[in-house]
Chains A and B, each alone.
Chain A
Amino acid sequence: EPEVTQTPSHQVTQMGQEVILRCVPISNHLYFYWYRQILGQKVEFLVSFYNNEISEKSEIFDDQFSVERPDGSNFTLKIRSTKLEDSAMYFCASSDRDRAYGYTFGSGTRLTVV
């Protein structure tokens, strides 16, 4: 069964450092997303991406965040200057045009900012 692959599974970084979280969505999907889940809290929408541009973003997704699809397979989330409160599980997801089968989520990257 096709899956969304995220790397690394766990990243520890110092406050103020830049991090790039990587995702390989399902190959025939057209829509790509990032969500995050702070420990013990709800899963929260960050951003959606379609046709090489951001189609929607939440208030969480400020100037410190950016997304990119650098080639035909990868989808990345960059946090420019990490803060302690950025510590969370970050999930990449993708969907096809119909979204009939929902969104397929990856296993996540646990980001720890120290």
Chain B
Amino acid sequence: EDQVTQSPEALRLQEGESSSLNCSYTVSGLRGLFWYRQDPGKGPEFLFTLYSAGEEKEKERLKATLTKKESFLHITAPKPEDSATYLCAVQSLSGGYNKLIFGAGTRLAVHP
């Protein structure tokens, strides 16, 4: 069964303290891995799509990387406005082209 596990569940950082969020996945063939940001009471906001091991993408203070078993979202020198829940989701070859399987998310709090 396709599965996505994110760790840690929650992370508290001081402003400027860099860290990484982990997304481990078990799928029968990865079609794509997605990172989203979700603010309270809002819908997921698209950040990145990664398709193959070794791929990396960057946007401002965020950098996403992918291996055959996991993905990392690196946050460099975070600011309080980076506080949100970060969701990882996968599309598997067996799960259908249309379905995203989400992890439970990592709640990030960045304090000044």
Contacts of B87 in A (CB 8 A): 43
The yes or no answer to A75 lying at the interface (CB within 8 A) is no
Query: When the two chains form their complex, are residues A102 and B103 in contact, meaning their CB atoms are under 8 A apart?
Result: no
User: When A42-B103, A102-B49 are in contact, do A33 and B98 touch as well, CB less than 8 Å?
Assistant: yes
The answer for the CA separation of A48 and B34 in the assembled complex, in Å, is 17
Which residues of chain B (55-112) have a CB below 8 Å from chain A?
87, 89, 96-105
List chain B residues, Cβ under 8 A from A107. Answer: 41-43
Given contacts A42-B103, A43-B87, A102-B49, contact A56 B43 (CB under 8 A): no
Max count, chain B CB within 10 A of own CB: residue among A93, A105, A110: A105
User: Is B98 within 8 A of A56, CB to CB?
Assistant: yes
Give the A interface residue count (CB, 8 A).
Answer: 28
- B44 with A43: CB separation less than 8 A: yes
**Interface residue total, chain B, C-beta cutoff 8 A:** 22
Most chain B C-beta atoms within 10 Å of own C-beta, residue among A4, A89, A103, A106: A103
Complex Cα distance, B44 from A42, in Å, reads 12
Contact with B along A10-54 (1 / 0, CB 8 A): 000000000000000000000101010000011111001010000
Interface residues of B (CB under 8 A from A): 32, 34, 36, 41-46, 49, 87, 89, 96-105
The contact sample of 28 A-B pairs, CB cut-off 8 A, is A4-B43, A33-B98, A35-B100, A42-B104, A42-B105, A43-B44, A43-B89, A43-B100, A44-B102, A45-B99, A50-B98, A55-B98, A56-B97, A58-B99, A100-B49, A101-B46, A102-B34, A102-B49, A103-B46, A103-B100, A104-B46, A105-B44, A105-B45, A106-B43, A107-B41, A107-B43, A108-B41, A108-B42
Q: Which residues from chain A sit less than 8 Å from chain B, CB to CB?
A: 4, 31, 33, 35, 41-45, 48, 50, 55-56, 58, 89, 91, 93, 99-108, 110
